[in-house]
Chains A and B, each alone.
Chain A
Amino acid sequence: MTKQRSRMISVRIKKGYDLNIAGRPSMETETAAPPARVAALPERIPFVRPKLRVKAGDRVKVGSVLFVDKRNPEIKFLSPGGGRIEKIDLGPRRVIREIVVVLDADETHEGFDTVSEAALDGIDRDELVRRLVDGGLWPLIRALPFRDIAGPKDVPPAVIVSIGNSQPFHPQPEIYLKDKADLFKFGLKAIRRLADGNVQVSISGSRPQLQTDLDGFITHRTIGRHPANDPGVLLYHTKKSAVENRTWFIDGQDLLLIAALLKTGRYPTERTVVVAGSRALEKKHLRTRLGAPLADLVKGDIRKGDSRLIAGGVLTGYSTEPETYLGFYETALALVPLGDAREFLAFVRPGINKPTYSRTFLSALSRADLEMNCNLHGGLRACIACGHCMDVCPVEILPQLTYKCILAGEVEESLEHGLLDCVECGLCSYVCPSKIELFDTLKTAKAAYYKEIS
């Protein structure tokens, strides 16, 4: 392997905010029991318009095509398990929610072409793209600013590989990269072919173990509060010209899947996820597989009705049910209290245990972890220009003003305000005392603009 020695660039991000939420996972890792069924959740993949390629009762192998994207039928999504399609769950307006596969005791795998490390240097770029597309892992590579699946025919200005998601309760890279440094480097080599060598590998903060294991391969170190290591944040703070706006990105753990696909010729399904949150009985890292049933992973009183199960992070994830499965992109599961009780005289309490960004509760004196629930903690009010949202925005958008642009229908002005730089971290909504849905408004406006131009 050619050793790439390069100086690591430190990027300091001044804004952002780390939630002091209780219920963090331990660094302990456990292998989850093998599931009886797995599923794909087309509904949870942003922008994709799924077109089914299987029907209930069909037999599939690990890696058989389940559905493709109508917008570009080249983009395939493969079966995370081998067995029989038990059911295809359609929601309202025939949204495809789940494609459930009952696993055979002895799963069979589709075969894909393997690439040796030596061959990777000389492989044709189009050929590599074709293998990733056919291997079902192309959707792991996404393009900024809209975070849709990258265009297989496009050449990106750069690719950012993000190691370490700082949103609460996400897998620690030290765990998923353990003993996999070589596989990771193999994956990097492949990604480098995609971007003409222009690949940035960023880690969050100080991670001595990784800095040793991946010595010379890490190009950027992001220092700062969440979401400092988000690819969009890194791009915002390093970009010099508008050409770079269409940079691609991939998560560190996902890069391992790509490497495994190319190396083994099998559709890889291994996933390290975190189960955490103050209501989860066991808060730790779990080695499981794509599409595993959530009920197998999360232990706790999930069905009692006073907790919420969140997939994909407490800030940006979606609320889900234990009866469903692990999505394609999600690696974090959190069980937090619902908090739907009416609290007596909440607004005059000293608030020693009330988490807040502001300095208006006694809890501001300490940074200790506090239990957070899903209560809004207040009613919707008009913006009072407190400025908290712009104090936390990691990409220096002025969220309250951008929000007003959007509400006034001024699309051009909102773009000028940097709407497309929004990394959809959700901090603006988190801190808003008026409980304005800034995050949702900005995200929706961004997606609407994307639909209009594509």
Chain B
Amino acid sequence: MQVIKNIFNSQRAHFSAGGRFEKYYPFFEAMETIFFAPADTTAGGPHVRDSLDVKRYMTIVIAVLIPPLLFGIYNAGYQSRLAAGLSPDFTAVFSRGLWIVLPLVLVSYAVGFFWEILFAVKRKHAISEGLFVTAMLFPLTLPPTTPLWQAALGISFGIVIGKELFGGTGRNFLNPALTGRAFLFFAYPGNMSGDAVWTVISGAKDAVVDTFSGATPLALAALTENGSVAAALSKAGYSFARLFWGLYPDSIGASSALLCLVGAVILMVMGIANYRIIAGDVLGVLCTGFLLNLAASECSSPYLLLNPFYHLVMGGAAFGIAFMTTDPVSAPDMNSAKWIYGFMIGALTVLIRVFNPAFPEGIMLAILFMNLFAPLLDSIVVRLKLKKRVPNV
């Protein structure tokens, strides 16, 4: 500990005012505060302050993202070896998964950190820990086959256009990780959708076993024309339980609804994620799914008749609900607006999935769409609140 302290103390002069690397102080601060909390004391009242800071706040989010990451690594390796007809031996699967996922995560962090430092130095502010969450969330939303250069491009777009252009952390109205993903989704649809992108198939194509089909549950659900969707899914091996546990081809971190549920519960218990948003999301999905059940007629697509709970476990809905909708900056500030925001995201997700054949998954677009409306919802709620005050001028 003393050794680390000495390293920082010896370098401090170079990064402080007048030092050689004065400009890069935010980098120094970011590195030092990983090890040592700032020594700053309060300048005036209140003289004592809460122990919570943004660093811990964001660290907790990163911590709950570790299980989905680890599972994503395993799942990517598992699907890849399954497709290649190899044995699902744990070590082999995991190392295969690491080989697929780790580069994406590292690229996301390296490129994201580069942009953050650039803007922090230019704007002379400290590096915000929100970046570390964004850079973790982003690769978890990608298909495992995403080329590294696309990941770099996506995170760049997310950080620069989605966040820094609007003033940086705290001022972004879009979720930066999803902005990056949406960019890739529309710029390189061939790499972001379809049946081929969810499983890394290495070696010769003919090694692929015959039974392999890359179709995701969402694609299958949308394509089902006769009979029930649940039956079609289960015929393809996607039972409700399997969808819940998450061992199926999907975005890296998004497949396991279980781990998303665990993460969401931890975040809500700790007060990091707002329960109103999550409850709103879930209600939105279930209510809309149920209404579609009621509205379905004989000639409508069987997708309408799907048990609404399937919408929560298929695809990225659980991941989006737990980790994306709960981003406090791009969500509304006001509590009542959070309910509406969440509900609308849930509803839109189901509507996009069921009615728009171009987009098998709806959660990304639903969140980004509601991000745009969050300020409006806030504005309405604030206006109503202010109306109730006895004026004091």
A residues in contact (CB < 8 Å) with B: 19, 21, 145, 239-242, 244-245, 308, 310, 313-319, 336, 338-348, 351, 354-361, 363, 372-387, 390, 396, 398, 400-401, 415-418, 420-421, 426-427, 429-435, 437, 439-440
Contact = CB atoms under 8 A, between A and B. Distances in A.
Contact of B333 (A240, A318, A385): A385
Nearest to B128: A381
Given A373-B48, A376-B41, A385-B170, 16 more contacts: A239-B390, A245-B392, A340-B39, A356-B51, A359-B269, A374-B41, A375-B41, A375-B49, A378-B55, A381-B126, A381-B170, A382-B128, A385-B328, A398-B385, A433-B54, A437-B44
B45 A345 contact: no
* Dominant secondary structure of chain B at its interface with chain A: loop
Interface in B88-136: 125-126, 128-130
A420 B52 contact: no
A77 B214 CA distance: 85
A384 B55 contact: no
Contacts of A308: 41, 47
Interface in B321-337: 328-329, 331, 333-335
A357 B385 contact: no
Contact of A360 (B35, B44, B271): B271
A229 B158 CA distance: 48
Contact of A378 (B37, B125, B269, B335): B37
Interface residues of B, number: 57
A241 B48 contact: no
A241 B329 CA distance: 35
23 contacts: A239-B390, A308-B41, A315-B48, A341-B39, A344-B35, A356-B51, A373-B48, A377-B37, A377-B49, A377-B51, A377-B52, A378-B38, A378-B55, A379-B126, A382-B169, A382-B171, A396-B389, A398-B333, A398-B334, A401-B333, A426-B45, A432-B50, A433-B53
Interface in B2-48: 5, 29, 33, 35-48
Contact of A379 (B29, B42, B59, B391): B29
Contacts of B284: none
Interface in B218-269: 269
A258 to B, nearest CB: 27
B295 interface: no
Given A347-B59, A378-B55, A415-B392, A431 B48 contact: no
B392 A435 contact: no
B392 A242 contact: yes
Contact of B47 (A317, A344, A358, A437): A317
Contact of A355 (B43, B44, B51, B385): B51
Nearest to A429: B46
Nearest to A17: B50
Given A242-B390, A344-B1, A358-B271, A319 B47 contact: yes
A336 B38 CA distance: 19
A401 B378 CA distance: 11
A228 to B, nearest CB: 17
Contact of A439 (B36, B41, B45, B269): B45
A430 B36 CA distance: 21
Contacts of A433: 50, 52-54, 56-57
A376 B41 CA distance: 5
A372 B54 contact: no
Contacts of A354: 51
B289 interface: no
Nearest to A316: B45
B201 interface: no
Nearest to A313: B45
Contacts of A432: 49-50
B272 interface: yes
Given A340-B41, A346-B37, A374-B41, A21 B48 contact: yes
Given A375-B40, A376-B42, A429-B46, A418 B389 contact: yes
Interface string B259-290: 00000000001111010000000000000000
A346 B53 CA distance: 10
B380 interface: no
B390 to A, nearest CB: 5
Contacts of A435: 49, 53
A315 B47 contact: yes
Contact of B169 (A317, A384, A431): A384
Contacts of B168: 382
Contacts of B328: 384-387
Contacts of B48: 19, 21, 314-315, 336, 355, 372-374, 430
B70 interface: no
Top 9 nearest A-B pairs by Cβ distance?
Answer: A378-B53, A382-B170, A346-B37, A354-B51, A342-B36, A426-B46, A372-B48, A347-B56, A315-B46
A240 B129 CA distance: 45
B371 to A, nearest CB: 13
B165 interface: no
B1 A347 contact: no
A449 to B, nearest CB: 9
Contacts of A316: 45-46
B56 A439 contact: no
Contacts of A241: 390
Interface in B127-163: 128-130
Contact of B52 (A21, A336, A360, A417): A360
B57 A145 contact: no
Contacts of A343: 36-37
A336 B48 CA distance: 9
A19 B55 CA distance: 22
